[in-house]
Amino acid sequence: MANKRSKNPRRDKIMKQIRAQRGLDRAEFIANGGEMVRWRGLRLVQQNKKKQANKTLGRKKVRL
């Protein structure tokens, strides 16, 4: 799997930190008796609903 680079280095840096923190959280969860199946059900990064709604709104068909 190739590692993709975005054009935004600031975002890359933030995402790298988030991934590292997720790894630490996962290790702690499993060390405390948690199961991997339960971990996969957790969602840590949530989508910005307002931003996504505006994005989809702007890509709909134009009515005249």
> Using an 8 Å Cβ cutoff, are 36 and 30 in contact?
yes
Domain boundaries, the chain: 9-58
- Is 61 exposed, middle or buried (CB count within 10 Å of its CB: 0-12, 13-18, 19+)? exposed
Distance CA 59, CA 16 (A): 30
- Is 29 exposed, middle or buried (CB count within 10 Å of its CB: 0-12, 13-18, 19+)? middle
Q: What is the pTM of this model?
A: 0.50
Full pLDDT tens readout for the chain, 64 residues: 456 667 888 989 999 999 999 999 999 999 999 888 888 876 667 778 888 888 888 777 777 7
